[in-house]
Structure 1
């Protein structure tokens, strides 16, 4: 099998700290191109990885030098760049949220089908060991019937790690489309769908800006979610957690409670109804704090899908279903009503 020649479009923090290092670690990949509208940034990254620098993604895609690209741009560019790449016969790994609307998401999925190329969305929480173990325990019936859950993802905000600080696109509605709910909340909607093994079909939400006065996107969101079997729970996404990052999930079941990423040592704690406790030390979740796992496994999953010609671990359809939940959350906040995601989920499955 020939080496997969890869280009990275958007050389900000996620590209520099996740995509580029993980591609470099992969023996089946050659990084041949990088692209950023900031020419100096593109040149610096290109020198570091021995790749050709571009400032225009259309030129990169027209060069015919890449088999696959990572799209690590501001959210509003995810769909148009991904669609162009797929139409050029290039495999795409797109950062989350995959798009800014269900129509964009569907257009991306259709472009992948028409081109026969892979489209994967970068939802890395599915590949965390504690999350995989929790899914396994639920799937095999160890927890019995699941009643409820609560999940949170919060930290001090992108200005702490973005290459552009407070000037980052994350805080600009015309580029980001959505704030903490799109940055962090979509991770958790995807995770809940993965762990519980069913769809979220109804959403009620408060989505607001309260901590970042310089931003015009949300920095705090709290949602009530209901799954197709009737499991109810809450999701919180925040850029206003001034202390340690919180990336925890707790699942309440008939036979016990799963505490995931809620302890400094044990990444999964199972508290059984019998009083027995099982502690799992599975390694820390990838985070902005020190000590998290070095490998998101997203890149290796994407490359494997290309090399082995198989369905990506997080397909465009899966990304669209997770996106539909945050779109419903926005609608719920605006209308002050519960919003069904059922239609969006059915459309994503077509």
Structure 2
């Protein structure tokens, strides 16, 4: 007997990732969609053979719904995820976990109280190239990690969102809160924590709204670019840049510099992982292309979430890990 799942929020992330991945999972029988705009929910219910909940309470109160994906906009996560957990549902929350640490802590409290699973969609941990890089680092094949640099940038969320408009919620302070830092930056901070088995402790950062305009032609209220220097608890040093104004090919690359060589991830479209050794040896791995806004592949997140519920194991990305990442984002935007 398969399970029923609910999804709160029917924007792009639901359409491209959550709904198709639940639909493809053999353990899921039915998806129940809720959106404040009922038309959006109806459209996805038709596309994926699910049904529509008229109110969000319907999802919470339906005893047959085992798990809920919270794909609402950032400012609502601490409300929806908390309510879902306290109503006895397992929750997969989109990133960032919340708009700030205080709100995130409410979700973690609800998780402890409920005893249900809380997983956060930091999907970069799941790519084959990042998993392979983690193995290499963990096994100390290249010695210790010394420094790193990472970036994530594309031409901006107005080309990705459902409405394709400069009126996108990503540009609104009240809803997105941290702009490109919480949209793209948070992925890479989490990735560095994951790859290095470490935590970023100190941050020096600049951020600004350099180019994006809202629907009224005014500069947006949140940052569209961030550059930062980072220091981890174990003393590694690194740099990171996040941008909504890379007006060309998307950049999702990371370089890890170790004692005996370097690991280049997603620099080359064909060989997603390249190791350059100190002695001149080069090893290339053709693993799988990174997901981009134009190339949606199965992220593995939904399958992992469902697996953690069925086998009652700790989710691959816990609330505590997501909170640690959010703390760094708060330091970056200086709040």
The answer to whether the superposition gives a TM-score over 0.5 is yes
Deviating more after overlay: 20-29 vs 64-73? 64-73
Residue 283 of structure 1 is matched in structure 2 by 288
Residue 342 of structure 1 is matched in structure 2 by none
Written as runs of structure 1 = structure 2, the 5 A alignment for 1:104-119 is 104-119=103-118
With structure 2 as the length reference, what TM-score do the two structures score?
0.96
The answer as to 2:297 corresponding to 1:298 is no
Distance between the aligned counterparts of 1:184 and 1:121, measured in 2?
A: 15
Distance between the aligned counterparts of 1:310 and 1:295, measured in 2?
A: 21
Residue 143 of structure 2 is matched in structure 1 by 144
CA contact 1:152–1:235 (8 Å) conserved in 2:
yes
> Which residue of 219, 238, 245 maps to 1:240?
245
| CA deviation profile, 1:164-206 (whole Å, cap 9, x unmatched) | 2222211111111111110000000000001111111111111
Question: How far apart are 1:51 and its partner, in Å?
Answer: 2.1
Residue 217 of structure 2 is matched in structure 1 by none
CA contact 2:22–2:31 (8 Å) conserved in 1:
no
The answer as to 2:42 corresponding to 1:37 is no
CA RMSD in angstroms comes to 1.2
Residue 273 of structure 2 is matched in structure 1 by 268
Structure 2 counterpart SS, 1:148: strand
The answer as to 2:235 corresponding to 1:230 is yes
| CA deviation profile, 1:39-75 (whole Å, cap 9, x unmatched) | 1111111122232213431232123341111011110
Residue 16 of structure 1 is matched in structure 2 by 15
CA contact 2:275–2:284 (8 Å) conserved in 1:
yes
Question: Structure 2 regions of 5+ residues with no counterpart?
Answer: 215-219
Question: How far apart are 1:98 and its partner, in Å?
Answer: 0.4
Structure 2 counterpart SS, 1:93: strand
The answer as to 2:184 corresponding to 1:181 is no
Residue 346 of structure 1 is matched in structure 2 by none
Distance between the aligned counterparts of 1:4 and 1:92, measured in 2?
A: 14
The answer as to 2:314 corresponding to 1:315 is no
Residue 79 of structure 2 is matched in structure 1 by 80
Distance between the aligned counterparts of 1:159 and 1:54, measured in 2?
A: 28
Structure 1 counterpart SS, 2:191: helix
CA contact 1:31–1:49 (8 Å) conserved in 2:
no
Residue 213 of structure 1 is matched in structure 2 by 213
Question: How far apart are 1:105 and its partner, in Å?
Answer: 1.4
CA contact 1:38–1:55 (8 Å) conserved in 2:
no
Question: How far apart are 1:92 and its partner, in Å?
Answer: 0.3
Distance between the aligned counterparts of 1:193 and 1:44, measured in 2?
A: 38
CA contact 1:42–1:55 (8 Å) conserved in 2:
no
With structure 1 as the length reference, what TM-score do the two structures score?
0.92
CA contact 1:87–1:115 (8 Å) conserved in 2:
yes
The answer as to 2:328 corresponding to 1:325 is yes
CA contact 2:20–2:48 (8 Å) conserved in 1:
no
CA contact 2:3–2:64 (8 Å) conserved in 1:
no
